[in-house]
Amino acid sequence: MDRMKNKVVIITGAAQGIGATYARALAAEGAHIVIADVLDGAPLVEELEGMGAEAIALKTDVSDEASASTMAAAAMERFGQIDVLVNNAAIYASLKMKGFEDIDLSEWDKVMAVNVRGPFICARAVAPHMKARGQGRIINISSGTPFKGTPGLLHYVTSKGAILALTRALARELGDFGLSVNTLAPGLVLSEGVVANAEMRERLTAPVIASRAIKRDQMPGDLIGPLLFLASDDSAFMTGETVVVDGGSVMH
């Protein structure tokens, strides 16, 4: 399994949860991994190195332009290239569900800073390095929620809707340089954070499963195949698209 052999992949928010699942899967396919997270990615680096992969962990605040630039520069210094950026970092599972009237403006701004400004800043940080080589893939992580208008999480749903638009416009701007930009949109995944948020599980799990054509919980592993497709040459002539993976709750 070497679809990603010697490819350098930056994954934001990869120190734990679904991002860590992405890192393990890409490493198993031969990729060199850059874990960019505000959390400590050293334990995952040790795990990946135990698999025989090359990996580094960078303390990165995706909402900060200087931090994102440092991330890209450090990846280039270590590996000499950047092939894939997975914009995974986001605020979600820690949110409390509430009516839109009760969302504090500071919370709204924090969600937008990480979930929307973050992918924009990180894409801008890596794009010059990708353009210089005439190749690269940016994978933005959205959600099935913008297609449904899920209530109780207006700031999160709005932020993930913005990612769909960002992907389409960015794909137009970068296509002439040989870069592709696509979106992976999961459904409600039983990540570590979601499992820990009892209210979210109680309010969302049953109706979400009932809405699916395949009626079961979605696990992080369900996203591995689609992610590898978007990260590899398997999707070479595909850009500006959104791949929804949620068991058929959203049929996009």
Give the active site residues: 156
Residue with token string 């928010």: 13
DSSP H helices, the chain, are 17-28, 42-50, 65-79, 105-112, 118-133, 145-148, 154-174, 192-196, 198-211, 224-231
Biggest CA–CA distance in the chain, Å, is: 50
- The pair of structure tokens assigned to 21 is 């699942």
- The pair of structure tokens assigned to 98 is 């509430």
Q: Could you give the CA distance from residue 33 to residue 27 in angstroms, rounded to a whole number?
A: 7
Q: Could you give the CA distance from residue 171 to residue 191 in angstroms, rounded to a whole number?
A: 29
